[in-house]
Amino acid sequence: MTELTTAAPVLAKPEAVRQRSPLYFAWRRFTANKAALAAGIVLLIIVLMAIFAPVITTTGPNDQLFLTNSLNFPSAAHWFGVDDLGRDFFTRIVYGARVSLGIGFSAAVFSLLVGLPLGALAGYMGGKFDWVVMRVIELFSVVPPLLAALLLATVTRGGVWAIILIAAVFGWKDVCLLVRAQVKSFREKEFIMAAQALGASPWHIVWRHLIPNSVSPIIVGFVLAIPLAMMLEASLSFLGIGVQPPTPSWGQMINVGMNFMFFYWHMAVFPTAALAVTILAASLLGDGLRDAFDPTLKGR
């Protein structure tokens, strides 16, 4: 029969190393992922360029100052050339970053504002509320987002705010699903039961336990919502019902560039490249963050 008595234990002392929170480990994993880190840096550069647009450009985006040089190819004076209406193309591209990124970020913020509380409550409360939320998400999944966005854009006649809201309408469900899954997986964990046993109110549990443990889906959901919104905006602008001229938007510039593509390659290449690079960087960053937060996910 195993005996179970030992001498009284001496007080255990921790080793003298720095405190390591779970977020610290996530950061380490992220920085080890070279592709994601590079993507993050690229995106940061683009964002900075957009913010400091007036500083790095010499003219306004709509100033038609170079009409006599219209459609000129890239040169020392005009890094990206001149467009068909005599505007410096580099300036247009940089201000286009403002529009496209601005729409992307705003739409992502709105997606978060709707998706986070719905997802957290649906995950925590379950039952009827969860059922309703899931049915609504199903509705949104059946309608092809782009086509519905086209319809909505025509109803609202385009414009920046309409696009932001439309992108949010189709972006919230991803954030909601991510948060809901996370909250559901944590709801059954014993530290939640322990908090309940301590007499914590549901609000305390959601605010102090569930949301801090949901940092991963919140950040990942936000970052991944940006390229989705940007794609939607670019697609709509490309078709002419997004951002209206003369406000520069990459999607719109690609549409125009198509007409000149055969002879004036710069009109198509630069907006295409800009859009592609930004969306790629944001997507890689989002994927990298997701892997950093949850290394147990398969597929890597």
Q: How many CB atoms lie within 10 A of CB 230?
A: 26
Establish if 239 lies at the interface with other proteins (CB under 8 A): yes
Residue list 152-171, contact with other proteins (CB under 8 A): 152, 154-155
Establish if 213 lies at the interface with other proteins (CB under 8 A): yes
Residue list 252-271, contact with other proteins (CB under 8 A): 254, 257-258, 261-262, 265, 268-269
Distance CA 169, CA 167 (A): 5
Q: How many CB atoms lie within 10 A of CB 151?
A: 13
Task: Enumerate the H helices of 144-238 as residue ranges.
Answer: 145-156, 160-187, 190-197, 202-204, 215-238
- Binding test (CB under 8 A) with other proteins, winner from 127, 197, 203, 296: 197
Establish if 41 lies at the interface with other proteins (CB under 8 A): no
HSE, side-chain direction, 13 A CA sphere, residue 29 = 15
- Binding mask of the shown chain, residues 61 to 100, with x at each position contacting other proteins by CB under 8 A: ----------------------------------------
Closer Cβ to other proteins, 28 or 204, answer by number: 204
How many chain residues touch other proteins (CB under 8 A)?
Answer: 74
Provide the minimum distance between the beta carbon of 162 and other proteins in the complex, in angstroms, as a whole number: 13
Distance CA 176, CA 221 (A): 8
- Binding test (CB under 8 A) with other proteins, winner from 204, 207, 246, 259: 204
- Output the DSSP codes for 69-90: GTTPPP-SSSTT-B-TTS-BHH
- Binding piece for other proteins, criterion CB under 8 A, among 67-75, 93-101, 165-173, 198-206: 198-206
Contact 175, 221 (CB under 8 A): yes
Provide the minimum distance between the beta carbon of 11 and other proteins in the complex, in angstroms, as a whole number: 5
Provide the minimum distance between the beta carbon of 57 and other proteins in the complex, in angstroms, as a whole number: 24
- Binding test (CB under 8 A) with other proteins, winner from 21, 76, 203, 296: 21
Establish if 141 lies at the interface with other proteins (CB under 8 A): yes
β-pair partners for 31: none
Establish if 134 lies at the interface with other proteins (CB under 8 A): no
Q: How many CB atoms lie within 10 A of CB 201?
A: 10
Task: Enumerate the H helices of 198-242 as residue ranges.
Answer: 202-204, 215-238
Establish if 34 lies at the interface with other proteins (CB under 8 A): no
